[in-house]
Structures are given as structure tokens and as C-alpha cells.
Structure 1
Amino acid sequence: MSQPQEIYISLISHTNVGKTSMTRTLLRKDVGEVRDEPHVTTKNEAYLFLESADARLFLWDTPGFGDIRKVLERVKREGGATAWLRHHLVDRLTQRALFCSVEALKHIRADADLVIYLVNGAENPEFAGYPHLEMELLSYFKKDVLIVVNQVSHDLDSDTKSENRLYRDKWVQNWKTFMQRFPFVVDVIPLDAHHPIPKMERKLLESFSSYVKEEKRAACRSLVRETLEQQRYEQQHCTEAAWRVLTFACHQAQPPSEDEKGDFEKMQRDLSQQMSVFTQTLMKTCRMSMADQAVLKTELADLENRQNLISEKKAGLWSGLLTGAISGLTADIMSGGLSFGGGALLGGLSGWLAAYYGSKGVNQLFKQGKKDLKWSNAFLVELTMSLSALYLRVLHHGRARGVIYFSEQKETEYWFSKLLARKDEISELIDSMVYSTDCEESRRRFESLFRDLPNIF
């Protein structure tokens, strides 16, 4: 049986640009050491990135370049030769910057099938100084170089996000323009280590197949194809988990009793358990970790023995006491009936969208005779959007950032706001689920909507 073919991708950059952070995000593992200071990584480290029966792809995290002028001058004196690097020794303690540069170059020369040169998108390459020298030095190694532009994340500030997006597009274009003068640069891809965009990650993987050494491209192409197929399976797994929560909520029915508070809490508790399973599925499938669990805290004193709607002011106060996010428990609205207050929370994802819903007020709770309590259509729309927002948040959370804190609501709210443009489509979906008998059609529509999320954002 033949050994799997090994493919080596070398990740290099100027020091303190974020190589190890990018390595963590691409691998979805906590590897290496990350500190905001130069030359933290001092040796070449290989990490298994992709694997199949026929091939294994390793991502190499390398020491960052420091002042490479001496190396560049020596290469020029040698007429462009780099063989001398194999035996070149540098004192690690007294010449740390030069030592790190030489170690990275030794690896590139000996092993790299493709070089990824990571750059800081916020820097202008024309004025930074070091890109000119480092790219000139790389030209002597006769390796294809793929540029990845880091530090180009989306902005969560709704007041300035359009302006910041324009700035980031301009930053990426600056690097594309700068790199056009180097014929060995094969592509420029924006990918932020802290807020990765799934379609850019896919583009990076696909580029491996096109630009590794010719003799390894077939194996790499097969390996990437298998990896992307596995990602589609993982995406389908997350979609099914979200569908289970939504169908559970659609079919929840609680016979009303004299204990209104108990009825409401039971429905909350049951749905919270489903949300907890969904969140854990996301964490496991996307290989992430969360710092705060799906904890549900309720404060329903305002609802006790009420026969009228609570005010938005009180609803906002009540909502603020919750670590859950949304509400809308009702009886079948088509049957009419008197309202007796409402409130909401869902999933207890440590405060998903409490601020948003606090200003909006809580949905109303209806009851007539012995009609079962159900979630309102409006609530189910918000639930679908919240499931989608949570999924997008996890997809765009780079492993470099560490664990996910769901108690930090701003990012979930950001993705929720992005979904408002699709609210009508989601409302139609919920109507079809509630009023139609064609369950398969409803499921197909939901899967189509959920599957498209990583491609749209």
C-alpha cells in the first residue's frame, strides 16, 4: 500500500501580523502561542490540516520576518543563490530577528509546495517599507506565493459599517495593486483570522489545488474536494439541527391551567432544552467552544394573575431581567380570545437579543377556553432569524478569538440585523409550516434558506 502524498503549505509573514492566529482559525485548533509582540514564534511548526486516504496536507507556521536586509544583500552577492542558507547559523539570543527570518527561509527553500504570505490589510504596502524587501527576497526562491490579506473583518458598529467596508475594500485593492509587480504572486485573497468569511475560506482551499507544485496538484485536488464535501455534510447537519428546533416550536401545545405562570415556564423550559441541543450541535460540528451555557433565567412576577397586556415599558424591564432573548407564546390567534400578558425568552443563550426585544416589548399570550397555548407566527419568524443569526455568528467566529461568549450580544444582533432583509421570505416559510399540510415542501424551503446563509454573507 502506497504512502499518502504529503503537501506542504508554508504560512509566512512579517513578524506580528497574525500567522499563528490564522493557523488556529484555519485548523480550528488552539495551536502555537499568540501574544501581541514580535517574534513569538521562533521555530517552524507543521500541523496536519487536511487528510484523506491518498494525501495529507500540512500547514506550516513559521517565524516572522524581521529585518531581512542582511539576508537579501547576501543573496544578491551570491548571484541569487540560496543554498548557503542550509548551513547558515545565527545566534538566537543576540540576533533574534535575523534568526527567525533565516529559519523561515530555510523551510521555504527546502519544503514549501506553496507559500502563503500573510499581510496586514490596514497597512498601505507602498509606505510600510518591509513588503518591498520581503517580496524581493521571495523572488529568489522560485516558489508560487498566495497573498492572504488579514485584518479586514466586518464592522459591528451600525453607524459606520458602510464607511468602514469601503475602507476595507480599498485596503484589499491596495495590496492587489501592489502585488501585480511580482509575477510569482498567483492570487490575493482577503481572509480575517478573527472574523473569517466561509466563502473566502473555501476559495483559499480551492486555490491550493491550482497552485501547489504541478506533481502534487492531482492529489491536492482530490483532497480539497473531499474536504469541501465534508463541509457540506457539516452544514447539512447544522441545518437539520435548526429545523428540529423550529418544528418543535411549531408543534408545541400546552393545555392552559389555572397556573398561567407554570404553563408559560414549561413551554419556555422545553424549548430552552431544544435550543441548548442546537447550540451544542453547532459547537461540536464547527469545532468551537462556548464560555457560557444555554441558561434560562425567568422573572414572571409581572404576568401573575394578569388579564391585560403589560406595557412596553414593563415588558422592556422584564425582558432585561432575562438572559434569554425572544418571546411570543400565544393561543391559536385565529380563535380570538382575551390576552393576559406575555413575555418571552428563548434558549437562554446568555442574553441573545435582550436589548432588541426589550425595546420592542414582548409578544402577547392569548387564551380562550381550553384552547392550547402555542407560539405565535411572529415569534416563530423571530426564532428562525435567531437560529440563523446564531449559526452565522459561529461560522464567522475565528478560532483565533478563543471561546464564544453568547452573553456578549452585539455580534448576534449584528447578524440578526443582516437577516432583516429576508424577513418576508421567512414569514412566508412560517405560514407554510403552520397552515400547510405539505411538511416536505416547508422543510425544503427552510433547508434552502439556511444552506444559502454561508454563501450570502
Structure 2
Amino acid sequence: MMSVAKTQIALSLISHTNIGKTTLARTLLRKDIGLVADRAHVTLENQKYTVLETDIGESLQLWDTPGFPNCQKILSRLQGAKNPIVRIVTEVWDRFRDRPSWCAQQAVLNVQQEADVVLYLVNATEEPSMAGYIAPELQLLEWIGKPVIVLLNQTGPPKDRTEQQRLEQPWKDYFARYGFVRGVHSLDAFSRCWVQEGILFETIQSLLPSHDRQLMNRLFTVWQT
């Protein structure tokens, strides 16, 4: 039986609620999409957008997902489950009565079912150890088992190499304990930087299975032209 050639690479953009996912998606897509507001759970559904596309219809897809709530509550609910991810995706949460848990379920479903690589956005103005929401969210991501790239938001305009390393190092040190986190890069939602985008796409390509890297290389060529 002949295998069907893959034509899409999918990225799931996830974060704690109100960190700036949709704003970053707008920057990467270079157009206004979704809703942006300074409150929790503005994005309520998984939404797919085309970032890059070749002449023959191959594409890099970006999923903007609902933000994670306080995941500690969800982890407590999953204690003792033999397969926590199966449990979370099959639980029934009311979209209106328990919106935070419902949003978390939608994000987990998207990562599990769609993502080749996960982009996990954090607020770089915080101290990593003080952002208490990160560890529970990483526990969920570890259970899913997809490769994760951490993106540092709110880093401001591009900086010289020394300053960039100073800003990124505490986050790299923090995430070093998580083997499924395969990169930590600055990518501010408001200050577009071609160099940072290029580094991101190269990292994504390196994390793909060998048979998908050629596809990503063709998409990367589209970005470069």
C-alpha cells in the first residue's frame, strides 16, 4: 500500500491565558486574526491559519488555541488516572459553566491531534521560578509527548547578542530539566524580527522526522523569498 505524501506541517501555539498568543499569531501571519483583549479566555476555539504555502499547496499551519487556566486544578482531578491525557480529552466540561477547564481541554486536544511541534509562549518579564502556572502546564505537555519550543514574549525590540543571552539564560536554565523542551527563543509579539523568525523555523525543521524535513525546507525557502 502506497503512503500518502504529507503536505502540511502543523504548529500548536499554546500558553497560559492572556499571555499574547493571538497577538503573536497576528505578527507571524502579518494580518489581523482572532480577537485580542486584556482579559482571560478571549480565544475559545482552536483556529487554524496558513503561515507559509508553496506553489503546489504544501503549507505550514499555525493553530491558535484557547489559553490554559489554573492547571493545578485539572492535575488534581487527574490524579490516579492510568492515562491522564485520555482522561482529560474524554471528560465532559461545560463550555459556559466551567469555561477554564473546557478551554484547557480544547488546547490539549489540539496538541494531541494536530501538532507536529508545540510553540509554548511565556511572559519574559516574569521570573521563571515565580510563574507558578508553568510547571502544571508543562506536566500536561509532557504527558502528550510532542516536542516543545518555548517562545519568550514581551522581550521588546531585538537586542545585541550579549543582552539577548542575558535575557534568555534564566529561561534556558529553568527549562533545561524538561527533556521534551527542545529550544528556548525570543519572539516578541509586538516587535517582528526576521532573524528570530528564521531561527524559529530552523529549530522547527530540526525537530521534525527526517521525511518531513524536506517539506519544511521547501516552506522555509518560501519564507526566505
- Taking structure 1 as the reference length, the TM-score comes to 0.45
Give 1:187-266 correspondences, 5 Å limit. Answer: 187-228=183-224, 230=225
Give 1:371-410 correspondences, 5 Å limit. Answer: none
Residues 1:84 and 2:87 are matched in the alignment = yes
- Segments of structure 2 that go 5 or more residues without pairing to the other structure are none
Deviation (angstroms), 1:88: 2.0
Which amino acid in the other structure matches residue 223 of structure 2? Answer: T
Q: Percent identity?
A: 36
Q: Which residue of 2 aligns with 1:392?
A: none
Contact 1:148 1:190 in 2 (8 A): yes
Is the deviation greater in 85-94 or in 96-105?
85-94
Q: Distance in 1 between matches of 2:165 and 2:39?
A: 27
Q: Distance in 2 between matches of 1:85 and 1:215?
A: 31
Q: Distance in 1 between matches of 2:13 and 2:208?
A: 13
User: Partner of 1:187: helix, strand, or coil?
Assistant: strand
Give 1:16-415 correspondences, 5 Å limit. Answer: 16-52=18-54, 53=56, 55-154=58-157, 166=163, 169-228=165-224, 230=225
Deviation (angstroms), 1:54: 5.8
User: Partner of 1:39: helix, strand, or coil?
Assistant: coil
Q: Distance in 2 between matches of 1:217 and 1:79?
A: 34
User: Partner of 1:84: helix, strand, or coil?
Assistant: helix
User: Partner of 2:185: helix, strand, or coil?
Assistant: strand
CA deviation vs aligned residue, 1:212-248 (integer Å, no higher than 9, x gap): 34542221122212321x1xxxxxxxxxxxxxxxxxx
Change (3 A) 1:138 1:76: farther
Q: Distance in 1 between matches of 2:85 and 2:105?
A: 11
Change (3 A) 1:119 1:47: same
- Segments of structure 1 that go 5 or more residues without pairing to the other structure are 156-160, 231-457
Off by >6 Å, runs of 4+ in structure 1: none
Deviation (angstroms), 1:135: 1.0
Which amino acid in the other structure matches residue 116 of structure 1? Answer: L
Which amino acid in the other structure matches residue 108 of structure 1? Answer: V
Q: Distance in 1 between matches of 2:75 and 2:213?
A: 31
Decide which structure has greater strand share.
2
Which amino acid in the other structure matches residue 66 of structure 2? Answer: P
Q: Distance in 2 between matches of 1:215 and 1:131?
A: 32
Q: Distance in 1 between matches of 2:19 and 2:126?
A: 10
Is the deviation greater in 205-214 or in 22-31?
205-214
User: Partner of 1:82: helix, strand, or coil?
Assistant: helix
| Larger RCO, structures 1/2 (Cα 8 Å, 6+ apart) | 2
Deviation (angstroms), 1:94: 1.8
Contact 2:154 2:188 in 1 (8 A): yes
Q: Distance in 1 between matches of 2:124 and 2:130?
A: 13
The number of aligned residues is 220
Contact 1:33 1:41 in 2 (8 A): yes
User: Partner of 2:42: helix, strand, or coil?
Assistant: coil
Which amino acid in the other structure matches residue 39 of structure 2? Answer: E
Q: Which residue of 2 aligns with 1:273?
A: none
Q: Distance in 2 between matches of 1:74 and 1:25?
A: 36
Which amino acid in the other structure matches residue 131 of structure 1? Answer: I
Q: Which residue of 2 aligns with 1:267?
A: none
Contact 2:14 2:118 in 1 (8 A): yes
Q: Distance in 2 between matches of 1:143 and 1:217?
A: 16
Which amino acid in the other structure matches residue 36 of structure 1? Answer: D
Q: Distance in 2 between matches of 1:197 and 1:103?
A: 30
Which amino acid in the other structure matches residue 70 of structure 1? Answer: K
Q: Distance in 2 between matches of 1:63 and 1:223?
A: 26
- Taking structure 2 as the reference length, the TM-score comes to 0.89
RMSD: 2.2
Decide which structure has greater helix share.
1
Q: Distance in 2 between matches of 1:114 and 1:201?
A: 15
Change (3 A) 1:95 1:69: same
Deviation (angstroms), 1:91: 1.1
Q: Distance in 1 between matches of 2:140 and 2:217?
A: 29
Decide which structure has the larger Cα Rg and report it: 1
